[in-house]
Amino acid sequence: MIKIINICGARPNFMKIAPLMRAYRNHGNIDPVLVHTGQHYDERMSDLFFRQLDIPEPDLNLEVGSGSHAKQTAEIMTRFEQVVNDHEPDWVLVVGDVNSTIACALVASKLHVRVAHVEAGLRSFDRHMPEEINRVLTDSISDLLFVTEPSGLENLKNEGVAPEKVHFVGNVMIDTLRANREKAEQSSILANLGLERGGYNVATLHRPSNVDDPETLGRILTAFEAIEADLPIVFPMHPRTRNNLTKLGVADRVAALKNLRIIEPLGYLDFLKLTANAAVVLTDSGGIQEETTILGVWCLTLRENTERPVTMTEGTNRLVGTDSTRIIEAYRACRAARLDAPPVPEKWDGRAAERIAEILSGC
């Protein structure tokens, strides 16, 4: 038996872990253990995703909660070390680029347990992003690196990673999107919010570089002022962003935007339905750049860089930074253009988790 401890901790991890836990079932020689670090803990940031995506109840929850990067990472490491010692796994599998990813990879590697990284090789080349540090470090100590897009292969080659460790398998987040598209159609979110297909935009913002800095957030709000005059903006707001509105003194300005509809974070199915039917999505998320590419919906990424360039070359994503004028111009260009179905990035076919499970079952 191959014992694999699978790590999830923060919201974007759950849609990546779901298809893997399912794919393992086809391999009688894989014994999976699921560990939730507790990095995200609100019902709407965690439990809801487990229910909607049929993720098995975690075998363990480390309940680390929030904290500074050092505190959170250290707390995960301390608690996870005990888990590895108790379970003696053959592999620790981590996904994505959050603090839980690097924390658990580092613990495993120091205990001489092999590490598999799903979504390896992505690089924004922006070391101010905490996720970039997590990506580079996790990849450098991983024994198996599962890559989602060609840029990942290139980046790992440039960093000298041995080619036999690297596998181009596709995108597990897109596995989940494809598996849930029909189910998401049943969501009543549009009716609940009184929206019609193509009659609104969606915004999500949570990157510290955007929502912790009053000047940047101010520029984005200036753009939103112009955009909401065209179509309403529905904004399911991350708790970090909500906390910051008052802290940064912009709560009144936000309240004055009558067509900006701030709502609670949504579950997976409601969010999928909402984005699938939006005119334009404005975001600083990584995963949403990929999802809109497959949904064929315009995505304006409010960042200066992306670690997912295939979403620009083969998808619907446009990098627009945080300059108000640039965002508004890009928005108008999207509204004026017809969006033909973009090509689907290679291997984003809903079978990435199967490929990963197959490789692991032979290791």
Which residue from 167, 206, 347, 351 is in contact with ligand UD1, where contact means CB under 6 A? 206
Beta bridge partners of 146: 118, 167
Is there binding between residue 237 and ligand UD1 (CB under 6 A)? no
List 11, 22, 36, 308, residue binding ligand UD1 (CB under 6 A) = 11
Q: How far is the CB of 59 from ligand UD1 (least distance, A)?
A: 20
User: Residue 191 phi/psi, 5° resolution?
Assistant: -60, -45
To ligand UD1, the closest distance from the beta carbon of 265 in angstroms equals 9
**356 alpha-carbon distance from chain centroid:** 19
Question: Among residues 41, 38, 343, 23, which one has the least CA distance to residue 172?
Answer: 23
- Residue linked to tokens 């790590």: 7
DSSP secondary structure letters along 228-249 = HTTS-EEEE--HHHHHHHHHTT
Query: Do 227 and 331 contact (CB within 8 A), yes or no?
Result: yes
Residue 13 as a binder of ligand UD1 (CB under 6 A): the answer is no
If one asks whether residue 40 binds ligand UD1 (CB under 6 A), the answer comes out as yes
Structure tokens at 108: 């495993």
CA 44 to centroid of chain Cα atoms: 15
C-alpha distances (whole Å) from 245 to each of 250, 252, 279, 322 are 5, 9, 26, 17
Under rule CB under 6 A, residue 133 binds ligand UD1: no
Contacting range for ligand UD1; rule: CB under 6 A; set: 238-246, 316-324, 330-338, 345-353: 238-246
Among 218, 239, 296, 342, binds ligand UD1 (CB under 6 A): 239
Binding of ligand UD1 by 12 (CB under 6 A): yes
For the annotated catalytic residues, the residue numbers are 206
Size of the site for ligand UD1 (CB under 6 A): 19
Query: Is 145:167 a contact under the CB 8 Å cutoff?
Result: yes
Q: Is 26 in the site for ligand UD1 (CB under 6 A)?
A: no
* Three-class SS state of 201: strand
Alpha carbon distance 4, 115 (integer Å) = 10
Instruction: Pick between residue 131 and residue 149 the one whose CB is nearest to ligand UD1.
Output: 131
In eight-state DSSP terms, residue 297 is -
> Which C-beta is closer to ligand UD1: that of 288 or that of 295?
288
| 10 near ligand UD1 (CB under 6 A) | yes
- Interaction residues for ligand UD1, span 53-72 (CB under 6 A): 66
Considering only the stretches 40-48, 149-157, 167-175, 314-322, report the one whose residues sit in contact with ligand UD1 under the rule CB under 6 A. Answer: 40-48
- What's 64's DSSP letter? -
CA 20 vs CA 93, 95, 118, 172, 358: distances in Å:
10, 10, 10, 8, 11
Measured CA to CA, the distance from residue 90 to residue 92 in angstroms comes to: 7
CB of 227 to ligand UD1, least distance (A): 23
Question: Mask 76-105, x = binds ligand UD1 (CB under 6 A)?
Answer: ---------------------xxx------
In the complex, what is the shortest distance from the CB of residue 65 to ligand UD1, in angstroms, rounded to a whole number?
8
Position 350 contacts ligand UD1 (CB under 6 A): no
By the rule CB under 6 A, 240 interacts with ligand UD1: yes
Dihedral sign from CA coordinates of 216, 96, 16, 287: positive
Q: Which is nearer to ligand UD1, 101 or 316 (CB)?
A: 101
Residue 41 is a binding residue for ligand UD1 (CB under 6 A): yes
Q: Which residues bind ligand UD1 (CB under 6 A)?
A: 10-12, 39-42, 45, 66, 97-99, 130-131, 206, 238-240, 243
